[in-house]
Amino acid sequence: MTKGKATVVTIMATGGIGVLSVVSAGCGLFGSGPAAQRRATAVKKPGAHRPPGGGKRVTIDWAASPITQTGTRRTMIRAFEASHPNLRVKLITMSTNTDTTRTTLSTEIEGGSATPDVYMGDVIWPAQFAHSGLAVNLSKYLPHGFWSRFAPGLVTGASYRGRVYAAPFFMDAGFLYYRKDLLKKAGLPVPRTWQQLASDAKTLQAKHLVRYGYVWEGAAYEGLTCDLMEFLADSGAKVLNSAGTKVVLNSPRAISAVTFMRSLITRGISPAAVSTYQEPDAMNTFDAGDAAFMRNWDYAWSNSQTPGTKVVGKVGVEPMPAFASAKQPGYSCIGGWDLYVNPHTRHLQQALTFIRWMTSAPAQRILAKKYSEVPTNYAVQKESSVRKKNPVLRIVARVRLVSRPSSTPLYPQLSQALYQNVNAALTGQIAPTTAITRASREISADLAGRGL
């Protein structure tokens, strides 16, 4: 992988990919500052393939939701501008709610708006956005070698029908957070299996060391689909066949996964309220010292380390447990954000330059080392200075990933069928068997175009 990246650099340096690298290579060679800018302009002027507006200062609009820590986006923009004197980036802040952001972006882009030029979008969007003409097919413009910089599996997740529609920007995954102090007090090791987690939780609760055993995301929303995918993958169940054309969900394995999820509530390991929990709720309970274990994303780490939180210094993080110790670690659902280009942009080349830089080692290092985000750049992910930054970054390479079945443009419907029915099972309204049967039926209706 590192070799692959080196090739990209070489190609860029030799100008082998022509037009695309004019801007970035130019700036890279001449350094920064106004003088460099003048010279860069002078060099580019005679070129017949000069990118539109390449000689002038171009401003591109980047639409992005706030990233966990404040200042992340602006710092990245400043660093980008410093190395690209010809380019300016205007930040357009999007909602922190993924669905609201999708609404805003899809409405703007379908209306033909040329802005934003680049937008940050969810990892589950590529198929839907590609299908609806809301994203540029990046593999048409970025060379094959470019994609080798990313950690395994990420590019596949950003592809639809063999074409790549988004560049992975930073990733996230499900992690098991646990209370080191409580486990130590009870003389327990970190659980590697779900059964062990359940029994440890019971032990800690019985000793009145903690109120709840395990908190996770069980509300009727996208987050439940993530948690569900982990349990399903752990028990060997799948939602769709590998071609993504047929539902294969209805199986004893899937039912046993949901039965286990429900049992966490009935056995009192998870609070009944977990069926209304989203990430912040789980985080609140855990950070208040009321839960021994928690499933959450990368950002939960920095939250638990906020001074004043009751659990500072008492939290450990490990990959998720599995159903059998031979199969551990268990699966973690892939989350995170990609960079997409608006098909109506008037600054395609500049947008691509921006994406190249944002996924390059220097940019990804800022993301990881300064802001604790998990880099998508595989070389950076493995750098020891990055891994030392925090325990999440240390274990991220050991995590076993599972993606949501988002390779179909119908994914939102699929996910609704999953989380609505499984949420009903978590509250006890319907049996796990019914939940799986109904979800399967609804998904196959969706795939056949008969679903709502």
Partner 1 sequence: MRAGTGSAVRRARTGWRFMAPALTVVVAVTIFPIVYSIYMSFNRIQLTLHGFHFQWVGLSNYRLLMASGLYRYAMEFTIVYAVITVLAELILGTLAALILQRLRRGRSGLLALLLLPWSLITVISAEMWGYIYNGVYGVLDAILLSLHIIRTPVVWLGFPQLAIASTMFADVWKTMPFVAILVLAGLEMIPVEVIEASYMDGAGSWQIFWRVQLPLIRSTMSLAVLFRILQAFGLFDLPFVLTGGGPGTATESIAVLGYQVMFQDLSFGPGAAVAASTTALVLIMAMVFLWVFRGMAEEGMA
Footprint of partner 1 on this chain (CB under 8 A)? 99, 102-103, 106-107, 110-112, 128, 131-134, 212, 219-221, 271-273, 275-276, 281, 284-285, 288, 290, 343-344, 410, 412-413, 416, 420-421, 423-424, 426-430, 450-452
Q: Which of 234, 446 has the CB closer to partner 1?
A: 446
Q: What would the two tokens of residue 434 be? A: 């019914």
Q: Which of 16, 451 has the CB closer to partner 1?
A: 451
CA distance 356 to 206: 53
Report yes or no: 214 and 208 within 8 Å, Cβ to Cβ.
no
Strands (E), 83-179: 87-93, 118-122, 159-160, 163-164, 167-173, 175-179
Q: What would the two tokens of residue 305 be? A: 């380390």
What do you get for the CA distance between the two ends of the chain, in Å? 43
Q: Which of 223, 321 has the CB closer to partner 1?
A: 223
Q: Which of 8, 424 has the CB closer to partner 1?
A: 424
Q: What pairing do the DSSP bridges indicate for beta strands 58-64 and 118-122?
A: parallel
Report yes or no: 436 and 258 within 8 Å, Cβ to Cβ.
yes
Closest distance to partner 1 from the beta carbon of 445 (Å): 9
CA 344 remoteness from chain centre: 25
Closest distance to partner 1 from the beta carbon of 427 (Å): 4
Q: Which of 359, 406 has the CB closer to partner 1?
A: 406
Closest distance to partner 1 from the beta carbon of 215 (Å): 9
Q: Which of 285, 360 has the CB closer to partner 1?
A: 285
Closest distance to partner 1 from the beta carbon of 293 (Å): 15
Closest distance to partner 1 from the beta carbon of 79 (Å): 32
Angle at CA of residue 278, ends 274 and 282, nearest 5°? 65
Give DSSP secondary structure letters for 68-105. SSTTHHHHHHHHHHHH-TTEEEEEEE--SSHHHHHHHH
Residue appearing with tokens 């040329």: 114
Closest distance to partner 1 from the beta carbon of 124 (Å): 11
Give the SS3 label for residue 76: helix
